[in-house]
Structure 1
Amino acid sequence: MSEPPLAPSVDVLVRLRERLLALLVLLHWRARAPLARELHRLRPGVASLLGHALAALLSTGCASLPPPDGERPRSTALEAVGHTRLAQVARASAVDADPALSGFRLLADGDQALDARIALARRAQVSLDIQYYLVAADATGRRFLRELRDAAARGVRVRLLVDDLYANDSRRLLAGLAAQANVEVRLFNPLPQRDGGVGTRVALSMHEFERINRRMHNKLFIADGSLAVIGGRNIADDYFKRGEPSNFIDMDVLCSGPVVGGFEALFDRFWNSEQVWPVQALLPEGGAAAFAHALRGLGGDPPVAPLDRFGYRPVADELDAGRLTQHFAPARLFADGPEKAATEGRPAPEAFALEGALQAMREARSQVLVATPYLVPGERGLALMRRARAKGLRVIVMTNGLAATDEPLVHWGYARYRAEMVSLGVELHELSPALGRPAAAAPGESASSMGRLHAKLAVIDGRRLLVGSMNMDRRSMRANTELGLLIDSPALAVEVTQTLQRDRDVGSYRLRPAAHDAGSVEWVAREAGREVVHPREPGVGWAQRLRLGVMSLFVAEELL
């Protein structure tokens, strides 16, 4: 290997700038750590990180993936599941329903959503097929993996598929789980650089940026091919109201019936795709003893409220009683395939998930209510809003305010469109951590915890519900694989609308055109029983606005 030149060429410096800016965006991805926390973690080694990136560009050697450890053995969903307890509960729950319909129950509360996953894992008898963007190494992640280990010890076949971007944080846990009998763990679209934190790994994998920019954002949990959970939650403390100082406001759906077969077919497509690698080829360390040691000290089960916000008992209790409370309705699955992550010599991938969601909104006749944590509408999104308003549709949008978001650069991209959205008559609301905090905490939740919107929802005409993993932004359209459901259920639509109405009324600012500044907006809230108007974005200082304004000049909108 020849030594790099002492003075890099202009072309090399341009490529360095582009890749370091891409690194900034990659560190901004939708995960449990907001950028401020990620930079705090990386701050002692920022100079080292930039040096690594420069060295990777100037040297002739680049990180590369090791060859797979033998063939990727194909496997598919097990069909002999009708005898299982979960299948029997699913049938009993649907005894009075049309067999063509699927069953759904919302999991809005963090304690109930975690209880549902634990309950399904403990009662599975044949198979668990699980797919997540993030499985953290915190208490929730370790408890989740312990349940999978215990299920495998009972003879349940466990297949776990995790996106690789943040998997290194949990590498020993994942490798330890993969060492158990009846368990197989695979990683989606792995980064060439295998060692170090996420910043270092991304920096030293920039020579494959077009590929590693594409991530698996799906969230899917299937038990015995009979019951499934989908939605917006990853597996980490702050998705189940057990994080500090912030937690995500999210939504999942427990599903049964014909739609589960579609989930299984989708999981098999990902599991057997060329974008997936066996964990043993990438994470060689790990073993049963080390895994058991990592799971010590978890304690008993997290507390669960006796009733959720809709008055339903915990899923574990209903499973033991032999029947679930569900709404039965027709549903359509919108999902991207694993090939969306392929880039070499192929045309741009189709975004089936988000395109399906947008088409459902285009078909609205009276009203569209959208909740999305990350919103960058672009000109195409604005055109969709103009057409909706021209048809006389009421359009209500809820998203995070800058003080609430964990993605300030994405928020800055959204802010470019804010005034025009309001001028079109879009009812725009921004969630604020300063408004609507509960006086009492839910089980396992700190009363001081700050809420951040993470749910991805839309209610169309008061009867159709969109729920899944996709955000209303360019990443969900172009880069990430996503999964969503369109459920034609007025009952579910009412439950979601009531939930969002509460957050909108007491926890968000309503935006309106500024009274004395054309082309600007102002923020309106009810505080202490009276209307308060803020001419500037609340909870954000001038220094942060300046810093984000400068940073946004260097980041292309299509990367947000």
Structure 2
Amino acid sequence: MTTTRSLLACVLACCMAWLAGCAALPARQPPPPAYALADVGAATLARVAAASTPADAAGRSGLRMLPEGPFSLDARLALAAAAQKSLDLQYYQLQSDSVGFMLLRAARDAAARGVRVRLLVDDFYTAGQDELFSTLAAYPNVQVRLFNPLPERKGSFVGRFIGSAAVFSRINHRMHNKLFIADNSISVAGGRNIGDEYFMQSETANFIDADVLATGPVVREQSAAFDLYWNSAHVWPIEQVVPPLLAPEDARRRFDEIAGPQGPPVPVRAHDVLGKTSVHQQLAEGRLDLMFAKATVLVDQPDKITRTTPAEQFDGSVTQHVMELMDTARTQVLIISPYFIPGRRGMERLGRAVGNGVKVTIYTNSLSSTDEPLVYLGYARYRDDLLKLGFEIYEVAPHRGASTNLGAFGTSISRLHAKISVVDDDRIFVGSMNLDSRSARINTEIGLIVESAEVVREFRRLIPARGFQSAYRLRLSDSGRVEWLEPREDGGFTVHHDNPGTNWIAEFWNWFNALFVGEEQL
């Protein structure tokens, strides 16, 4: 769902809601609170995590970058298959496609082994999935909850939008968090939702994204963050929103029909781009290949979605903490954000850093690669000034995905979805937060700050020595116009004087739509 379509849906929703009433949620019945399981030391995953931890770890967490989609999917499936106590899954979007069904089947199978499964999904993109999640919850040991559910349950995304238009604030505020925790011992977290395009399985477009696998103290922090949301007043058990229509046995049979049979595994290479074997193989060998460093969880409070003033929304947010981290930069800041709209506050803070001699590099989507063109136009309002101030800007070239070495894009285009900030040579943030107003004030977010030169060096290995070969580098011409420099194999550049990969009709349409959407909503 693009912002443009959301805008049109909103306009239509307001008109329809005025003509005919809107749906309403039943009164919420608070479910009993539940928390991460602490008695997991005897579980296989806990023992592997312990065996992988050196004696001098001294409170540091074990970490591994997962920049490739197939390896990141393998990690989740391998952890689900090895879990013996619990699986806690929290996602903004969990699609009904091959990857989504793969993960849900893995959760079902874990529950059948006696594993407690808790699945928390934001309700924005669940159109048509009520039956799927309701029947999954019919399995013993499985609980499914929805964050900030929409009142209207029937129809398409637009139909639900229309039926829920009377409570637009409920529609507009979402849980953007992504988190996967197995046996309260090993986690996978970062930018990826659950869907084909996040794991290099789409035939049309795939995302450049990143996750971090973790063990040690930071996993307990993540479990506490999960529990914070699981027990929030903004979270509803699926059965209170979608009353069960089938007997449990029939519901389970129906889930099996929807999710389908087990398909072939997603192939992974012998080693990923960083030279590491798959998590599945390492678990089988009883030891994970990890780096150890101090890591801290940043997480928004669930009630951020009810705060009314920009100051209240920003105070204590993940965005605030990341901006404060950038303020401490001595030499350089790298911002990787698919949806980058710095706003006045960001321009002041980042501009001050550049003025103090800090090199600030931005890697974001181009207009031809983004799935949110209105967001690009919001960023473009600042783009020329950023270049004038001395920022270095790269925009993803959609046809150059192969140059990332992050997987086989084939004929699909590449789009950026990773959310990473690197400060100097020793600190890195990886999480769900975009550098825009929506992440700062409207949605909830989660992420990790890692303090480690080793981890930063490992991440920088993903960037070719010649720079971002997957992107256009932007510059200003002598006349002050933006130019896009596309890398060539001979080391030179092809210069584009107009926004590459687009046409004036598309740009005009996007500009026209942008007139109706405030920057704070992008």
Does the pair score TM above 0.5?
A: yes
Aligned-residue CA RMSD in angstroms? Answer: 2.2
State yes or no: 1:250 paired with 2:201. Answer: no
2:385 alignment partner, SS class? helix
State yes or no: 1:514 paired with 2:477. Answer: yes
Separation (CA, whole Å) in 1 of partners of 2:500 and 2:163: 38
Matches within 5 A, 1:282-297: 282-284=241-243, 285=245, 287-297=251-261
What is the CA distance between 1:55 and its match in structure 2?
Answer: 3.1
Separation (CA, whole Å) in 1 of partners of 2:404 and 2:92: 33
| Equivalence for 1:115 | 74
| Equivalence for 2:124 | 165
Unaligned runs of 5+ in 1: 1-26, 30-34
TM-score, L = length of structure 2: 0.94
State yes or no: 1:408 paired with 2:382. Answer: no
1:4-26 C-alpha deviation (Å, 9 max, x unpaired): xxxxxxxxxxxxxxxxxxxxxxx
Matches within 5 A, 1:88-103: 88-103=47-62
Give the partner amino acid of 2:450. Answer: I
1:384-403 C-alpha deviation (Å, 9 max, x unpaired): 12111111001111000000
State yes or no: 1:66 paired with 2:26. Answer: yes
| Equivalence for 1:326 | 290
1:509 alignment partner, SS class? strand
What is the CA distance between 1:502 and its match in structure 2?
Answer: 6.7
| Equivalence for 1:18 | none
1:546 corresponds, among 502, 508, 522, to 508
| Equivalence for 1:391 | 356
What is the CA distance between 1:212 and its match in structure 2?
Answer: 2.2
What is the CA distance between 1:523 and its match in structure 2?
Answer: 1.0
What is the CA distance between 1:351 and its match in structure 2?
Answer: 4.8
2:391 corresponds, among 415, 426, 430, to 426
Q: Would the aligned equivalents of 2:404 and 2:469 in 1 still touch at CA under 8 Å?
A: no
Give the partner amino acid of 1:548. Answer: N
| Identity in percent | 43
What is the CA distance between 1:169 and its match in structure 2?
Answer: 3.3
What is the CA distance between 1:192 and its match in structure 2?
Answer: 1.4
Q: Would the aligned equivalents of 2:304 and 2:442 in 1 still touch at CA under 8 Å?
A: yes
| Equivalence for 1:488 | 451
What is the CA distance between 1:503 and its match in structure 2?
Answer: 9.4
1:475 corresponds, among 432, 438, 441, to 438
Separation (CA, whole Å) in 1 of partners of 2:34 and 2:434: 31
| Equivalence for 1:206 | 165
Q: Assess, with a 3 A threshold, how the Cα gap between structure 1 residues 511 and 463 changes in structure 2: closer, same or farther.
A: same
Q: Would the aligned equivalents of 1:367 and 1:394 in 2 still touch at CA under 8 Å?
A: yes
Separation (CA, whole Å) in 2 of partners of 1:357 and 1:208: 31
State yes or no: 1:273 paired with 2:237. Answer: no
What is the CA distance between 1:125 and its match in structure 2?
Answer: 0.5
1:118-156 C-alpha deviation (Å, 9 max, x unpaired): 000010111111100011100110110000000000000
Q: Assess, with a 3 A threshold, how the Cα gap between structure 1 residues 180 and 244 changes in structure 2: closer, same or farther.
A: same
Matches within 5 A, 1:5-404: 27-28=1-2, 53-59=14-20, 61-68=21-28, 70-284=29-243, 285=245, 287-343=251-307, 348-349=312-313, 350-404=315-369
1:535-558 C-alpha deviation (Å, 9 max, x unpaired): 111111011111111111121111
What is the CA distance between 1:320 and its match in structure 2?
Answer: 1.2
1:326-355 C-alpha deviation (Å, 9 max, x unpaired): 110011211101111225899833352111
Separation (CA, whole Å) in 2 of partners of 1:396 and 1:538: 21
Separation (CA, whole Å) in 1 of partners of 2:323 and 2:357: 18
1:21-64 C-alpha deviation (Å, 9 max, x unpaired): xxxxxx535xxxxx57x89xx9xxx8xx96664231244x3211
What is the CA distance between 1:455 and its match in structure 2?
Answer: 0.4
Q: Assess, with a 3 A threshold, how the Cα gap between structure 1 residues 384 and 335 changes in structure 2: closer, same or farther.
A: same
1:449 corresponds, among 412, 429, 433, to 412
What is the total number of aligned residue pairs between the two structures?
515
Separation (CA, whole Å) in 2 of partners of 1:168 and 1:297: 23
TM-score, L = length of structure 1: 0.88
1:330 alignment partner, SS class? strand
What is the CA distance between 1:83 and its match in structure 2?
Answer: 0.6
Separation (CA, whole Å) in 1 of partners of 2:222 and 2:404: 39
1:459-510 C-alpha deviation (Å, 9 max, x unpaired): 1111111100000001100111000111011122122223144795321111
Unaligned runs of 5+ in 2: none
Separation (CA, whole Å) in 1 of partners of 2:405 and 2:430: 28
Give the partner amino acid of 1:85. Answer: T
